[in-house]
Structure 1
Amino acid sequence: MMRKQDTRIRILYVDDEANNLLAFQAGFRRFYEIYTATSVAEGLAILNDHEIHVILADQRMPKVTGVEFFSIVRKAHPDPMRILITGYTDLGALVEAINSGEIFRYIKKPWDDLELKTAIQNAYEVYGTRLELKNKIRELERTNDELNRFVYSTSHDLRSPLANILGILNVAKLQSPSEDPTGFYDMIESCVNKMDLFIHKIIEYYKGIRVDNVNEVVDFHTLVNDSISLCNMQNPQLVFETKVDQTAEFHSDSFRLSLVLNNLISNAVKYQRSDEERPKVSITVKADKKEALIFIEDNGVGIIEDHLNKIFQIFFRSTDYRNGLGIGLYIVKEALTRIGGDINVNSEFGKGTRFTLKVPNHNEQEEPEVAETAA
């Protein structure tokens, strides 16, 4: 579908031969707004001062070829479409230029007016489509940013009244400690706690996608111990088995690694079987100058095999065993992606789950290894 033109197509033609420029102006000035230049410097000056839609350039020019000129132009002015005019058939150079995106197409000299006009029209339509797409993407990013800010702000504002509800509920329980025959107090407290957890996860997600990556020194002993401290109150009977082997200075994003560990360990604690006599969670870390391998394993309820490829989707819940929210593992995946990590899961329903994580060491100061040579 042809794009509706509200302005004339603006064309820049760069050619060291003045006769070619005059011939182009004579044949096309009724249709287009034309700018001409006899050198690369003049062409760049025009591009800096005017919004150009299509650039034509001769291939054989002194000092710089047309393809080389387009390579320069593309970096500073990527939007205009580029058409090469050539009287020589250098097929290898043309194919390379087209494949690398330096030119939209090429026209042979002497050009056919209809062919050149069609090429310009097609190039302008592509220019317009790309411009509309960029504007849509920019608008979508702005809308998404506003939505994220709204969700984050609303989530923060909701936590205060929830805290007030819990406070009033606790006061009511103290005044009438034995009067709750219907169990309404416990139901209200359960719903409020679930909503508060949901809001907390939304805030975690927002921070995970909005906070800039920080490359800092990571101490896995501290990260693992802090995560266990946050989670072990959920089940005092649960045993944590930890082994951290960090043999090199490790650089990554501590905040996102904490998000990952907190969510995975919390899930391992939450989804334990009620009939398990010795509930446990094993956490193993092997970190060296290249990467960290992290294994988190539990003997809980496990995950149905058909669900293993869906558990990282947002709001997907594999089980109703503990009224999960379906957000935690999505946050884990997003956080790992942002630091270049990866995660795999193995599970047997009714026996437990094992997560395997790979996180690269972003130690920019690490010296490249030098191969030893025999004396």
Structure 2
Amino acid sequence: MSTIQPANKIRVLYVDDEPNNLLAFKASFRRKFEIFTAHSAAEGISVLNSEMVHVVIADQRMPQSTGVEFFDIVRVSHPEPVRMLLTGYTDVEAIVDAINKGQIFRYIKKPWDELELETAINNAFEVYHTRLQLKEKVQELERTNDELNRFVYSTSHDLRSPLASVMGVLNLAKMEKSVIDPNGYMQMIESCIQKMDFFILKVIEYYKSIRVEEVNQPVDFKMLINESIELCRMQNPAITFKVEVNQPRQFYVDVFRMSVILNNLISNAVKYQKPDELNPIVKLVVDVTDEKAVISIEDNGVGILEDHVNNIFKMFFRSNFTVNGLGIGLYIVKEALNRIGGEISVKSKQGDGTKFEVSIPNKLPVTSNKPSQLVAEEI
């Protein structure tokens, strides 16, 4: 197996309470690697604080702390160097536990074989180098993703202005009756513009949901749900909303994201009603405890195919193409829930409606304990 040859020597820290071992290690490897030595775990931490090290090797049996205990600290304070354990004892359980917990890359038995240890150090440096490259790639992807999000957000805002101008011209033409349109082309144009504007608004909503810092505030679920209902009612004025809010205590949550979640779920419940349904209903139930709020939103609409249920939270997935949707609303819901530590489940049967259940943790401050209200009403 080929080994990476760095421009500078591999920097190795060896921690051992036996001076002879430190001298022997340095004598064996000083020509191949840049060696740092320490007589104790505390001295080893001091070296790591002041020097860049690629590989850390420690003896398991030391008087003040074992090698595993030393690595337990190093793993948190200096996670970059690759860790290896030297032991002359058959302390198998401690070694296996250290490997399983990610405290060490591998272990070498004492007395060490010089070729085996040299190979292990080179292998450890390959791991270090690969991790460093991966970290740089992740940072590069994060920067690119951030730039892309900013570009999409900026472009979405810029697109709304000409769309508003076109819509204004169309409305003016309709008011003045200055255009003869026997085939209804203007209505088609207006419908397309409205759809595009709605899509742009969803993109902006998604951007804000992933970028805005989480701010937990007390929420009145009755008021928040009524606001969402008023936004969605115009989609289908015939729908009856049945709301039950059981909030006997104060609940803290990110109100912006909570509003995004409710707006999209209620909008879906309204949008995916059956066209011939004589009694369209959307039921909303909220139960608040000290630990969480459970919100269910149930409709008697078209439902979801069983094969599609596992895909509905994917971006641009649409279960029903007879309804004028974008396939982004539930994706936004899922992203917003991830940000506030919530969960969502769905039960649905095609033709019988859909029920979403959302569980959200209460970010209630320790000192707050304010009772609220029980509300059951039909809107």
Shift of 1:31: 1.0
Classify 1:73/1:343 alpha carbon distance in 2 versus 1 (closer, same or farther; 3 Å). Answer: closer
Classify 1:125/1:178 alpha carbon distance in 2 versus 1 (closer, same or farther; 3 Å). Answer: closer
Question: Is the 2:290–2:362 contact (alpha carbons within 8 Å) kept by the matching residues of 1?
Answer: yes
- Name the structure 1 match of 2:354: 353
- Name the structure 1 match of 2:239: 238
Provide the secondary structure at the position in 1 that maps to 2:234. helix
* Residues 1:284 and 2:313 are matched in the alignment: no
**Counterparts of 2:235 and 2:49 in 1: how far apart (Å)?**
63
| Structure 2 residues not aligned, in runs of 5+ | 369-379
* Residues 1:29 and 2:30 are matched in the alignment: yes
Shift of 1:143: 1.0
Classify 1:304/1:91 alpha carbon distance in 2 versus 1 (closer, same or farther; 3 Å). Answer: closer
Q: Report the AA paired with residue 200 of structure 2.
A: I
- Name the structure 1 match of 2:201: 200
Q: Report the AA paired with residue 274 of structure 1.
A: P
Question: Is the 2:217–2:254 contact (alpha carbons within 8 Å) kept by the matching residues of 1?
Answer: yes
Provide the secondary structure at the position in 2 that maps to 1:309. helix
Q: Report the AA paired with residue 363 of structure 1.
A: L
**Counterparts of 2:153 and 2:5 in 1: how far apart (Å)?**
41
Provide the secondary structure at the position in 1 that maps to 2:310. coil
Deviations 1:112-157 (A, max 9, x none): 1111111111111111111111111111111111111111111111
- Name the structure 1 match of 2:373: none
Q: TM-score, normalised by structure 2?
A: 0.91
Question: Is the 1:214–1:252 contact (alpha carbons within 8 Å) kept by the matching residues of 2?
Answer: yes
**Counterparts of 2:212 and 2:63 in 1: how far apart (Å)?**
50
**Counterparts of 2:233 and 2:13 in 1: how far apart (Å)?**
69
* Residues 1:135 and 2:136 are matched in the alignment: yes
- Name the structure 2 match of 1:215: 216
Shift of 1:366: 7.2
**Counterparts of 1:63 and 1:350 in 2: how far apart (Å)?**
70
Q: Report the AA paired with residue 227 of structure 2.
A: D
Q: Report the AA paired with residue 130 of structure 2.
A: T
32-41 vs 305-314, which deviates more? Answer: 32-41
Shift of 1:58: 2.0
185-194 vs 1-10, which deviates more? Answer: 1-10
Count matched residues: 368
- Name the structure 1 match of 2:55: 54
**Counterparts of 2:351 and 2:91 in 1: how far apart (Å)?**
67
**Counterparts of 1:150 and 1:245 in 2: how far apart (Å)?**
42
**Counterparts of 1:8 and 1:66 in 2: how far apart (Å)?**
25
Q: TM-score, normalised by structure 1?
A: 0.92
| Structure 1 residues not aligned, in runs of 5+ | 368-375
Shift of 1:178: 7.2
- Name the structure 2 match of 1:247: 248
**Counterparts of 1:2 and 1:326 in 2: how far apart (Å)?**
49
207-216 vs 133-142, which deviates more? Answer: 207-216
Structure with more contact order per residue of length (Cα contacts < 8 Å, sep ≥ 6):
2
Deviations 1:82-120 (A, max 9, x none): 122222222222222222222222222221111111111
Once superposed, what is the RMSD of the aligned Cα atoms?
2.0
Classify 1:88/1:346 alpha carbon distance in 2 versus 1 (closer, same or farther; 3 Å). Answer: closer
